[in-house]
Amino acid sequence: MIPAEFEYYRPASMEDVIALLEEHGDDARVMAGGHSLIPMMKLRMADIPHLIDLQGIDGLANITVENGKVTLGAMVTQHNIIGSDALTSAVPILREAALQIADPQVRYMGTIGGNVANGDPGNDMPGLMQCLNAEFHLIGPDGERTVEARDFYEAAYMTDREDEEVLTGISFDAPSGGYAYEKQKRKIGDYATAAAAVQMTKVDGVVATASIAMTNLSDVPVWSEATADALIGTDCNEGAVKAAIQAMLGDIDPTEDNRGPVAFKRHAAGIVLGRAIARAWSRT
Amino acid sequence: MKDEVTREDRVANLKGMGCSRKRVEDARFTQGKGNYVDDVKLPGMLHGDFVRSPYAHARIKSINIDAAMALPGVTAVLTAKDLEPLGLHWMPTLAGDKQMVLADGKVLFQGQEVAFVVAADRYVAADAVELVEVEYEELEVLVDPFKALQSDVSLREDTLDADGKAADGAHGPRKHPNHIFKWEAGDEAATDQVMDSAEVVATEEMYYHRTHPCPLETCGSVASMDKVNGKLTLWGTFQAPHVVRTVASLLSGIEEHNIRVIAPDIGGGFGNKVGVYPGYICSIVASIVTGLPVKWVEDRMENLMSTAFARDYWMKGKISATKDGKITGLHCHVTADHGAFDACADPTKFPAGFMNICTGSYDIPVAYLGVDGVYTNKAPGGVSYRCSFRVTEAVYFIERMIEVLAIKLNMDPAELRSKNFIKKDQFPYQAALGWEYDSGDYQTAWDKALEAVDYKGLRAEQAQRVEDFKAGKTRKLMGIGLTFFTEIVGAGPVKNCDILGMGMFDSCEIRIHPTGSAVARLGTISQGQGHATTFAQILATEVGLPADSITIEEGDTDTAPYGLGTYGSRSTPVAGAATAMAGRKIRAKAQMIAAYLLEVHDDDVEFDVDRFVVKGAPERFKTMKEIAYAAYNQAIPGLEPGLEAVSYYDPPNMTYPFGAYVCVMDIDVDTGVPEIRRFYALDDCGTRINPMVIDGQIHGGLTEALAVALGQEIAYDDQGNVKTGTLMDFFLPTAWEVPNYETDFTVTPSPHHPIGAKGVGESPHVGGVPCFSNAVQDAFRPFGNTHTNMPHDHWRIWQTANDLGLHD
Ligand SMILES: Cc1cc2nc3c(=O)[nH]c(=O)nc-3n(C[C@H](O)[C@H](O)[C@H](O)COP(=O)(O)OP(=O)(O)OC[C@H]3O[C@@H](n4cnc5c(N)ncnc54)[C@H](O)[C@@H]3O)c2cc1C
């Protein structure tokens, strides 16, 4: 568990970060909390000759909730999320999800930016960000741009972000209504066997809006419009939930691993989603 | 006014046997002041690292070390060719087989050691590993022991005779090139006869999966060859330091007095640190070659992939009984997957360990056990992971067979156990497979356990739950896991237990200092058991000096008396006995000194807590402290000065701790998630030295049992790739997954042990695994389940529910 040799940088400005990224291209990588990247380097699954630590850059760890708009700096840690009262009241699903990530030690270090930029299908935040319809803010040699979370993920570890770009923050409208983040895992510190993020609103006793995303059930997070559609206009009765689960099963594509065979994962995904819907509905 | 010092005060002051003395080790461990192998840092020390095989079976066509040697900081790259002239390219295993130290022409498992890189810096060593070019030619991989026994592919050409046939092995004839041994106990013909005419016969096949002890500290060593004085010092993660010294001497030709082996603090062993690993040998050779100290410490993946695994037993059972549930016979056959080399750590005459304890706690008149050991393309090992030799396998087998028989008889499994227990008045009990159980009172323990958990109430609740489930009111089933186990520990009598020819006695040497404090050294070595705490308590009671005034030292072969080390719960049964016996020698001399000082005859004084008193005149006494002083400072006619003793103890028999466990579990049939609602553990380990340490041992052993039963495994794919090489996939429970354990006890002392103690460190693991497993299986029993294999992780539990139609 010893990484290959690398050069360590801790620049003080974003310009310096981008300059380093431009200079070293594919040989450079930024590091946030390091809790996905360093294990990969130690396993020598990632060989990164130039490691650029973002800890030296000011202003990347702010949390703001203003006029129903939530903005998170890329360097906000999962621990910060759990501890923020403003976030907990504006976006309670964020805390519920963050508490199910890894363990306290990892959460002290792991950042929201690293979690969504990583592109690991096991990460919990990407699916949640799709559920919340978040926007990712990137900065690169050509300036700033914004990408929707729902358009960001291309394949495992492949995202829309260019090698020379850095994620600076995330923003989204504070959701209303009921919510639930439901995750099945083998133990503390484990990635999901299956996880579901559900946000929904109720008007006149039926679902008015719904947004649903699934985690670790494909090589990218799965935001399933069809699943949400199956619930809209219903009172989340058994038939509607069944239809939603059917729709979700049409969109996921799990693979077998040590967590179990595909048939089990599909079943677990259905159970997890059913429970998430029930809990979200009960909170509307 | 000065309070009177009562006898109770004096007893309390000793902190002797029976009190929950706080662990003296904890101060340094909790403050980061432990001294582990990786903490050993010597001037000029070099670092070793292995090139390991990515393939499970391949021929090595070439190894090119040029690029690695060219890397600045690299001192040497050793391959089998370099070790061959020293005769060290292979090494003997504890099981009578031999093992490649570095790949000699081929590799036989993924992660096998191919070359040893030595560099000035640990990072450079790791980089150099990447630069060693090895050309492999892949060969057919055998991961299934049953297929291995049918295959034309011979994994171990070195074990064939000139005609290419399987030559006899260390344990007799072999029936196939991939067969290692056949070991039998009991009477097969008589067992078959009983089965043929039995009223009821239940059969079951079960796989006790491969897992790994996974101590927190991985294995490692630091070798330092001093070329000036010819002395080799070897620090390492050794559960048996003296054995390592002897083996190192035999292998290297260095005289034993010139080798000093030091096992410093050890971060858990659980059997993983009994054997000898290529890393130890390579660090020694590298130090001899370079003249500098060389450190090798493996990482977590290397530990999981290449050092000794545990279990991997395919067991086939047959149990017969009368219609009303009296067991009449037991038949067991095991196909034992040993991996590429037979590196089990078992006493020489027991290639399947004490698997022949598989008649368990029951009075079974006839039985038979046959074990076939097999080579496959997996890592070697087969060690006793927190158990005496293969006892977890044996207890799992019988406790599953009892449940299977109960299903067949449609009888309550608690009642079936009661009906068949060896009765109190049958001890010492001669078991059908050869062992003589020393003492037990099973029924009393069982009744106490069942009452403590309200067993009848639990069964009623479970029946209601089944009704509710069928009525669609709940998706959770309830399982009640039962286990009654008997361990066999304390190897052991030299007449039948040895390792590499070394009898399994143990030892203690005590020096009482003039001021009444003492140091005692033992042949064992603590890896978390708390010997420094508990052995001092034994001595405190035996010699009447406070435990706090007694230092216990272990693990340095230059100072400690020869012993066989710590594993198989042998420390208290063997070294603990030696400690008591050495203490009694001290006391005998102290009695003479006291009598002299009190001017009475030896027989006129008697021992009382911390002093000798004149019989009938308790106001006339000499404390042990006074006696110690006199022993050194007063010329006593007829007595040598000093107060020292040494004892080597060869136990007359094993000890047989036992226990009654109950686990209550709720299982979500949809997700396969088990929730442990309750775990009750009653242990009888004979005389209890320190109840708090016992509780700690039980919590630890149960937690490792939970791990093994509910998910911990070393899994391979069909190409022999390890699928569980990190702690993400290899299940190591945290506080979150662990329930609140309720502990309880009865006390049935061992009649042959000087203080009646039996050993306890492994009982909870041995009893815990079947108890957790039985709980899972019991939940599904009302729906037709008889047996499913461990580990019961989510998907396998889900699979059981699915197979039983519970998702339809
Ligand atoms: C034992 C363990 C268990 C875990 N369990 C879970 C879990 O259950 N769920 C879960 O979601 N995660 C889990 N994680 C991962 C953890 O949450 C990580 O911390 C997180 O995925 C990455 O955040 P980081 O800040 O550590 O990123 P880093 O490791 O520093 O970076 C990860 C990747 O993102 C890139 N990156 C980081 N920041 C930026 C940025 N601002 N702009 C562009 N690229 C960037 C890096 O270059 C790297 O490629 C676990 C980790 C461990 C060690």
pLDDT digits (tens, 9 = 90+) for A230-282: 999 999 999 999 999 999 999 999 999 999 999 999 999 999 999 999 999 99
Phi-psi category of residue A79: left, alpha or beta, with phi > 0 → left and psi -120 to 50 → alpha: alpha
CA distance B709 to B739: 14
Measure CB to CB from residue B122 to each of A2, A4, A268 and give the nearest one. A2
Q: Say whether pLDDT at B385 is over 60.
A: yes
**Residue A191 belongs to domain with CATH number:** 3.30.390.50
- pLDDT value of residue B2: 54
Report CA(A36)–ligand 1 centroid distance (Å).
Answer: 4
Give yes or no for A271 touching B (CB within 8 A): yes
- Asked if residue A197 and residue A136 are part of one domain, the reply reads no
Q: What residue's CA is closest to ligand 1, atom 23?
A: A114
pLDDT at A110: 98
Work out the pLDDT band at B541, boundaries 50, 70, 90. very high
Contact yes or no for B757/B690 (Cβ under 8 A): no
Residue B793: which of A186, A263, A271 has the nearest Cβ?
A186
Quote the CA–CA distance of A124 and A111 in Å, as a whole number.
Answer: 12
Q: Please tell me the residue having the least CA distance from ligand 1 atom 1.
A: A189
**pLDDT value at B718 more than 70:** yes
**What is the average pLDDT value for chain B, to the nearest integer?**
96
Structural contact between residues B335 and B358, judged by C-beta atoms closer than 8 angstroms: no
Judge whether A259 is closer than 8 Å to chain B, CB to CB: yes
Residue A84 inside a domain? The answer is yes
Q: What gap in Å lies between CA B313 and CA B355, rounded to an integer?
A: 11
Give Cβ neighbours of residue B585 (< 8 Å, ≥ 6 apart): B645, B647
The pLDDT assigned to B492 comes to 82
Can you tell me which residue has the tokens 């993020």? A197
Write out the two tokens for B643: 């107060």
Q: CA nearest A39 in B: which residue?
A: B726
Domain check: are A229 and A133 in the same one? no
Contact between B79 and B329 (Cβ < 8 Å)? no
Contact status, residue B453 vs residue B680, Cβ threshold 8 Å: yes
The answer to whether the Cβ–Cβ distance between B130 and A4 falls below 8 Å is yes
Whether A178 is covered by a domain: the verdict is no
Specify the 3-state DSSP secondary structure of A148: strand
Residue range(s) defining the domain that contains residue A124: 63-172
CA A134 to centroid of chain Cα atoms: 10
pLDDT at B496: 86
End-of-domain residue from the set A134, A149, A172: A172
Chain A residues in contact with B793 by the CB 8 A cut-off are 186, 260
Q: Which of B794, B797, B799, B806 would you mutate first to test chain A, the one with the most A CBs within 10 A?
A: B794
What one-character-per-residue DSSP string does B545-585 give?
S-GGGEEEEESBTTTSPP---S-TT-IIIIIIHHHHHHHHH
| Chain B residues with a Cβ under 8 Å from any Cβ in chain A | 122-123, 126-127, 130, 299-301, 670-673, 711, 715, 723-724, 726, 728-729, 731, 733-734, 736-737, 793-795, 798-799, 802, 807
Please give the pLDDT value at position B126. 97
Q: Round to whole Å and give the CA distance between B334 and B371.
A: 5
Distance of CA B494 to the CA centre of its chain: 19
Instruction: Let me know whether A188 and A213 are in one domain.
Output: yes
For residue B1, pLDDT over 60 is answered with no
- Residue A179 resides in a domain: no
Is ligand 1 within 6 A of the CB of residue A114?
yes
Residues B787-806 pLDDT 10s? 999 999 999 999 999 999 99
CB proximity list for B243: less than 8 A, separation 6 or greater: B499, B500, B502, B564, B565
Tens of pLDDT along B466-502?
999 999 999 999 999 999 999 999 988 999 898 888 8
Q: What's the CA angle centered on A13, arms A8 and A16, to 5 degrees?
A: 60
Instruction: Assess if residue A194 is contained within a domain.
Output: yes
- Residue ending a domain, among A137, A172, A207, is A172
Residues in chain B closer than 8 A to A4 (CB atoms):
127, 130
Selection from B279, B268, B289 nearest residue B235 by Cα: B279
Do residues A167 and A88 both lie within one domain? yes
With a 6 Å cutoff on the Cβ, whether A102 touches ligand 1 is yes
CB-CB neighbours of B644 under 10 Å = 15
CB B710 within 8 A of CB B209: no
Establish if A116 belongs to a structural domain: yes
Residue B657 pLDDT > 70, yes or no?
A: yes
What is the spatial distance between Cα B450 and Cα A260, in angstroms, rounded to a whole number? Answer: 36
Closest CA to B394 of B785, B796, B765: B765
Give the distance from CA B791 to its chain's centroid: 20
**Closest alpha carbon to A197 in A102, A113, A91, A114:** A91
Query: Which positions of B are annotated as active-site residues?
Result: 239, 386-387, 762
B598 sits in which H/E element: helix B577-598
Q: Same structural domain for residues A196 and A239?
A: yes
Query: Tell me: the pLDDT tens digits for B727-760?
Result: 999 999 999 999 999 999 999 999 999 999 999 9
The CB of A33 under 6 Å from ligand 1? The reply is yes
Mean pLDDT, residues B379-389: 94
The Cα diameter of chain B in Å comes to: 92
Report the DSSP beta bridge partners of residue B296: B221
d(C-alpha B436, C-alpha A53), whole Å: 66
Residue A42's CATH number: 3.30.43.10
Distances (CA, A) of B76 to B40, B100, B229, B576: 21, 19, 24, 45
* Rounded Cα–Cα distance for residues B513 and B511 (Å): 6
Distance, CA of B270 to CA of B265 (rounded, Å): 14
Q: Do residue B671 and residue A44 have CB atoms under 8 angstroms apart?
A: no
Phi, psi of A39 (to 5 degrees): -55, -40
How big is the A-B interface in CB pairs under 8 Å? 66
Q: Are residues A195 and A249 in the same domain?
A: yes
Is the separation of the CB atoms in A130 and A213 below 8 Å?
Answer: yes
- What DSSP designation does A32 have? S
Q: Which atom of ligand 1 approaches the CA of A189 most closely? A: 3
A271–B670 C-beta distance less than 8 A: yes
- Considering its fold, how many domains does chain A have in total? 3
* CATH number of the domain residue A78 falls in: 3.30.465.10
Residue A113 covered by a domain: yes
Q: Supply the pLDDT for residue B345.
A: 86
Q: Is A74 in the pocket of ligand 1 (CB under 6 A)?
A: yes
Atom of ligand 1 nearest to the CA of A78: 17
Domains in chain B with CATH codes: 7-34+506-649 (3.30.365.10), 403-490+654-803 (3.30.365.10)
pLDDT at B571 over 60: yes
Please identify every stretch of chain A with a pLDDT value under 70, giving residue numbers as ranges: none
Residues A69 and A116 in one domain: yes
Pick the last residue of a domain from A138, A172, A206: A172
Chain A hits for B300, Cβ within 8 Å? 1
- pLDDT computed for residue B3 by the predictor: 63
Share of chain B above pLDDT 90, in %: 96
Q: Is A163 left (phi over 0), alpha (psi -120 to 50) or beta?
A: alpha
Q: Is residue A1 part of a domain?
A: no
Residue B501 has a pLDDT of 86
Average pLDDT over residues B366-391: 96
Of B123, B670, B795, which is closest to A2 when you measure between CB atoms?
A: B123
Chain A residues close to B807, C-beta within 8 Å: 267
Q: Which of A24, A115, A137, A157 to mutate to test the pocket of ligand 1 (most atoms within 8 A of CB)?
A: A115
CA dist., res. B10 & res. B607, Å (int): 13
Burial class (CB in 10 A: 0-12, 13-18, 19+), B365: middle
Q: Check if A113 has its Cβ closer than 6 Å to any atom of ligand 1.
A: yes
Whole-angstrom distance, CA of residue B742 vs CA of residue B229 = 56
Whether residue A150 sits in one domain with residue A79: yes
Chain B contact for A45, CB < 8 A? Answer: no
Q: Considering the domain boundaries, does residue A20 fall inside one?
A: yes
